Chains A and B, each alone.
Chain A
Amino acid sequence: MIDTLARYFQFPFVRYALIVGVLIALCSSLLGVTLVLRRFSFIGDGLSHVAFGAIAIAGVLHLAEARMLFVMPVTVLSAVLLLRTGKNTKIKGDSAVAMISVGAMALGYLIMNVFSTSTNLSGDVCSTLFGSMSILTLTKTEVWLCIGLSIAVLVIFVLFYNKLFAVTFDEDFARAAGMKVDAFNLMIAVVVAVIIVLAMNLVGSLLISALIVFPAMSAMRIYKSFRSVTICAAVVSVICAVTGILVSIVADTPVGSTIVAADIAAFLVFSLIAKIRK
């Protein structure tokens, strides 16, 4: 088995996949803690559907090489819109997310069908939804883009960690203390949008929420301080991503769903430990 892995690691695209996978898992789990605690995990789900629609359009426009450059702004813009409508009392936040995400999904598939240039349409759709092999087809540019953005997300996270805690625990208190909470929420939405577009390469748009929700939920089973939950979520997420990628190489399974399966397993283990401790 180790021989198999060693052979695979001679290919640069496998190494790229591992690097990108670790970074994405790290970023998504860090933001996941605050999203889960603020009951915002559905925003991740909504945005991933939007990203699917954007990828469909990018495919039609033949933006294969530069598709990230198209998908990223569209998703970020949707994140901003979602946050705005969340405050609109006429259209409630959750139904706004449902409308935008399902709409983007349906139109995306429609556009892919009508303007399809590919001979293997269902294969394309499947890999966009479940990520299947797209992580192994990353170009060098995409890898560097991913590394750069991940580092940016990490730096933002560390610099704003204390403010993130304050806003997550008590938005009103933070606002009363003079924090610009709206601007801060906007920044979070943008960062989440960036992570989601990055994560589409790894697990596909349908499974992104798993990367955001599972590590945070696992960590919250056992750990009791915000800091330890954050660190634990990051560690669990990275371990699951690495395990998932390695297993998928050896056992020839789809990358995305293998990673999510690892996340589910970790969640079950953590839940069990929490039960036993009680």
Chain B
Amino acid sequence: MAYLTCKNLALGYEGQAVLSDISFEVNPGDYLCVVGENGSGKTTLMKTILGLHKPLSGTITFGDGLKQSEIGYLPQQTAVQRDFPATVREIVLSGCQALAGRRPFYSKEEKQMAARNLERMNLEEYASRCYRELSGGQQQRVLLARALCATRKMLILDEPVSGLDPKVTAEMYALIRRLNREDGISVMMITHDVSVALREATHVLHAGENVFFGTREDYLCSPLARRFLIQEGGASA
């Protein structure tokens, strides 16, 4: 059974649909890229899956032992966070909130898990550093470590490389690939970069007026991808 199954989803605000007729699923081990133009409702889709918005219609079901609150989420950074006085350790530990539930304090296991995830993201030496003093790539790794505290099964990443330079971007993608291939964590990633989707993903969801969902290979052959790639190529040329 799939971790996540979405059927005929329609999303939007105040009854106005931004996206409609979205159907797809995420299975254990999948790496799904969500592509589409800016403003096509990709972030809204993520937030709906996470339960932050209600869908206008359609269903979202979780299966295979995954609960909605067990998804690790890497959101786009907010203005508040960029100037936030907190250490890396404090932020990563806050990812254990779902585990802590109603308990007021974090348990020893949760603290150990935070420490392990710091290591996993090569952040041990920054544990006591202030978040706002880190580089963009380091900040993203901190947020990724926090997301890993919240999940063992599935990550949702919203434009994880926006604002990063090419070298750090490549490192970030390698890190995500490793989490997917070696640790078996399912990944659902929003990106506006179709070439990344074609390189990294196992499955692609193209959101927009025309919706596509399928494997990477099928997507490559679809007219949607070709049109998108030509546009992109034309823009960068």
Contact = CB atoms under 8 A, between A and B. Distances in A.
Interface of A: 37-39, 89, 158-163, 165-166, 169-170, 172-179, 220, 223-227, 229
A224 B104 contact: no
Contact of A37 (B71, B84, B100): B84
Nearest to B104: A159
B71 A176 contact: yes
Contacts of A225: 85-87, 90, 128, 130
Which of A37, A38, A169, A229 gathers the greatest number of chain B CB atoms within 10 Å? A169
Given A38-B80, A159-B104, A166-B97, A224 B85 contact: yes
A178 B75 contact: no
A165 B94 contact: yes
A177 B98 contact: yes
B219 interface: no
27 contacts: A37-B80, A37-B84, A37-B85, A159-B104, A163-B97, A165-B86, A165-B90, A166-B97, A169-B80, A169-B94, A170-B78, A170-B81, A170-B94, A172-B73, A173-B75, A173-B94, A173-B95, A173-B146, A175-B52, A177-B69, A178-B97, A178-B101, A224-B129, A224-B132, A226-B85, A227-B90, A229-B85
Contacts of A158: 104
A175 B94 contact: no
B97 A162 contact: yes
B60 interface: no
Contacts of A169: 80-81, 84, 86, 91, 94
Contacts of A177: 69, 73, 95, 97-98, 150
Contacts of B94: 162, 165-166, 169-170, 173-174
Contact of B47 (A160, A172, A227): A172
A22 B198 CA distance: 62
Contacts of A223: 85
Contact of B69 (A39, A163, A170, A176): A176
Contacts of A37: 80, 84-85
Contacts of A227: 90
B80 A39 contact: yes
Given A177-B95, A177-B150, A223-B85, 17 more contacts: A37-B85, A38-B80, A161-B104, A162-B100, A165-B94, A166-B97, A170-B78, A172-B73, A176-B73, A178-B68, A178-B97, A179-B98, A220-B85, A224-B87, A225-B85, A226-B90, A229-B85
Nearest to B90: A226
Interface string B111-141: 0000000000000000011101100000000
Contacts of B81: 169-170
How many chain B residues sit at the interface, stated as a range, is 35 or more
Which of A158, A166, A175, A229 gathers the greatest number of chain B CB atoms within 10 Å? A166
B100 A178 contact: no
Given A225-B85, A226-B86, A176 B91 contact: no
Given A177-B98, A178-B69, A178-B98, A172 B75 contact: yes
B80 A162 contact: no
A150 to B, nearest CB: 19
A226 B91 CA distance: 9
A174 B91 contact: no
Q: Give the 4 A-B residue pairs with the shortest CB-CB distance, closest first.
A: A178-B69, A224-B130, A177-B98, A176-B50
Nearest to A224: B130
A173 B80 contact: no
A64 to B, nearest CB: 40
A220 B98 CA distance: 28
B173 interface: no
Contacts of B86: 165, 169, 224-226
Nearest to A158: B104
Contacts of B85: 37, 220, 223-226, 229
Nearest to A161: B104
A162 B52 contact: no
Contact of B104 (A39, A162, A174, A226): A162
B126 to A, nearest CB: 12
B107 to A, nearest CB: 11
Nearest to A229: B85
Nearest to B13: A89
Interface in B169-198: none
B97 A179 contact: yes
Contact of B105 (A38, A162, A166, A220): A162
A166 B149 CA distance: 13
B63 interface: no
Contact of A173 (B73, B90, B100): B73
Which of A161, A165, A176, A178 gathers the greatest number of chain B CB atoms within 10 Å? A176
